[in-house]
A and B are shown apart, each in its own frame.
Chain A
Amino acid sequence: MSAAPPIDDIQPRLQRPSVAEGLVQEEALLEAICQGETEFALLAWSPHDRALVMPRRHERLAGFPEARRVLRERGWPIQFRSTGGTPVPQSSAVINVVLAQRCQVGSSAAHLEWGYRRLGDPWCAWLSDLGVAEANLGAAPGAYCDGRFNVRIGERKLVGTAQRWRRVRGSRDMAMLIHGAMQVGETPEALVEVVNAFQSAIGDPQRFSPASHVALCQVLPDLDLEAALPGLLARLGEAG
């Protein structure tokens, strides 16, 4: 793992780190909130390499060493993240947007539903700006790392979301980090196949369906993503 950059160096524009560096930068954002350095931060990154990323508890599964070997041989090394959920592929076909914010415990801001809407509602509004009318939040049965607050298009998962909460030092306030991973390139089949390879290697019979996923390039094939992304970040900043 690389050392995290100073928080002042993290700008709300698309970063191109390695998966490991991106995960370190996310942790730095949460820690900056906890240390009182800032009350709000945004980070957008898309890795230049690839990995299958999952919470560390998966390491306890009996078949994990073999699954790790199999995935490494396929060119998808396993890495761990600090947010919840299940395995998710990270590659240049994925853009991650991370929002960190200080929240008061006991208010509605302390609830995870609020956190998911804090990220998901502006994301849907941004898609609407781009002409996608049917974006909403919800589950996508059959999708990998499914949850109740995916950003969906036509009930297919475009963005997976997850959170981490930590107490702010010397305060009852909490630091929330919410992460959205949006598939922008490749086909759903390409990424679902990686997760299903892990499922097979770990001995879990559950398989996921490409039909439950959608990539942004399928919906908006002519989109200039680098030009459009600041609009998403602006939406997220305004909503705070």
Chain B
Amino acid sequence: MTTEITVPTDLWEGDTEGVITAWLVNDGAEVAEGDLVAEVMVEKAQYEIEAPATGRLGIAKEEDEVVSKGSVIATLEP
């Protein structure tokens, strides 16, 4: 079953958008649950995004793309 990697909804208040500042893993790479995979910046705060499951990473939002809370930024295929 495909697992989505989303921008957490509980990290900042309001509807301010963030930006994907870095992917720490290449598209198509295998990652383990808990691995750091990306960084999102909002209002000068950098948040590290972890893989919620183990699988093959499919990047949906590229570096420098704008994202909002809850946005799907990648998927994980088992």
Contacts and interface: CB of A to CB of B under 8 A. Distances in A.
Bound pair: A and B?
yes
Interface of A: 55-57, 60, 82-85, 105-106, 110-113, 115, 145, 147-149, 161-167
B21 A84 contact: yes
Interface string B5-17: 0001011110000
Nearest to B47: A165
Interface stretch (B37-45, B53-61, B70-78): B37-45
Contacts of B13: 111-113
Interface in B14-49: 21-22, 34, 41-48
Contacts of B22: 56-57
Contacts, number: 68
Interface of B: 8, 10-13, 21-22, 34, 41-48, 50, 63-64
Contacts of B41: 55, 57, 84
Contact of B12 (A111, A147, A149): A111
B43 A148 contact: yes
Given A55-B21, A113-B12, A165-B46, 17 more contacts: A56-B22, A57-B41, A83-B44, A83-B45, A84-B44, A110-B10, A110-B11, A111-B12, A111-B13, A112-B11, A112-B12, A112-B13, A148-B43, A164-B48, A165-B45, A165-B47, A165-B48
Contact of B46 (A60, A113, A164): A164
